[in-house]
Amino acid sequence: MQDMKVRKTNMSELLPDGGTIRKLWIGETDAYRDHLLRLDRESRYRRFSGAVSDEVIARHAATANEVGVVVHGFFVDRVLRGAAELRHNGPLFSHDGEAAFSIEQPWQSHGVGTELLQRTLLSARNRGITSLRMDCLAENQRMQQLARKFEAEFSFDFGSVTGEVDPPQSTPLSLIREAVADSYGVAGAIFEAQSRLLRPA
């Protein structure tokens, strides 16, 4: 496992040094697929609440650009290493949503999940989602601890855990916060690309 320093982000959370968080762009579903396929067996099992094949993962990742889906990615050296997926449950304008998180093992327990959840809650709030569900297996203590940071309430049923987080209503300020975060993400990606071009071979 590589040594990871931490730094402050614009959303006041700690991330491994060099890591950035931004929304996935159109055309980055392959990067999302590759990230999910890189998950170790345990992390893949937790992410999908069971064993799934590579083919199922590829089909799932291909839906990341669909209407009603927002995916925030955690990038290190332009490689997607973590993701938070937000989806509407039911019709596009329903008030119910579902969130799921995946972080590759070397970057777990470094504040990435907290930052991803914070971004996801802001996006849910600005899209009119008032009830956000996060399903996980009963043994997935890391996910439960993450949800409890945001005062989620849990229900237990047949060995699984469902966390409910109620984001507040959107406001002009919350919309501005998301727009600013998006602009930082774009600027950071452009700066990183330019820096790579200027580096000596």
Enter the pTM of the model. Answer: 0.77
Strand runs (DSSP E) across the chain, as ranges? 6-8, 14-16, 19-23, 69-76, 79-88, 96-103, 131-137, 153-157, 160-165
- 159 within 8 A of 138, measured Cβ to Cβ: yes
Instruction: Give the per-residue pLDDT at 167.
Output: 79
What are residue 137's phi and psi, to 5 degrees? -70, 155
* Backbone CA torsion sign across 34, 68, 118, 146: negative
- 172 within 8 A of 85, measured Cβ to Cβ: no
Residue found under tokens 């070397």: 106
Exposure string of 19-51, with b = 16+ CB inside 10 Å and e = fewer, is bbbbbbeeebbebbbebbeebeeebbbbbbeee
Instruction: Give the per-residue pLDDT at 91.
Output: 76
The total of structural domains in the chain comes to: 1
10 located within any domain: no
76 located within any domain: yes
30 located within any domain: yes
168 located within any domain: yes
11 located within any domain: no
Q: What is the identity of the amino acid at 19?
A: G
Give me the tens of pLDDT residue by residue for the chain, a chain 201 residues long: 343 333 333 443 446 667 889 999 889 999 999 999 999 999 999 999 899 999 999 999 999 999 999 999 999 988 999 999 999 887 777 888 899 999 999 998 888 999 999 999 999 989 888 888 888 888 888 888 888 888 887 787 766 678 888 877 777 777 777 777 777 555 555 545 444 445 555
Instruction: Give the per-residue pLDDT at 196.
Output: 46
59 located within any domain: yes
Instruction: Give the per-residue pLDDT at 7.
Output: 36
The CATH number that applies at residue 43 is 3.40.630.30
pLDDT in tens, 87-128: 988 777 788 889 999 999 999 888 899 999 999 999 998 988
Instruction: Give the per-residue pLDDT at 56.
Output: 97
Instruction: Give the per-residue pLDDT at 155.
Output: 80
Angle in degrees, CA 72, 48, 119, rounded to 5: 20
Instruction: Give the per-residue pLDDT at 139.
Output: 80
* Backbone CA torsion sign across 138, 63, 184, 181: negative
118 located within any domain: yes
- 163 within 8 A of 147, measured Cβ to Cβ: yes
Instruction: Give the per-residue pLDDT at 77.
Output: 87
Q: Which domain holds residue 154?
A: 17-198
60 located within any domain: yes
* Backbone CA torsion sign across 58, 62, 68, 192: positive
Q: What is the identity of the amino acid at 134?
A: M
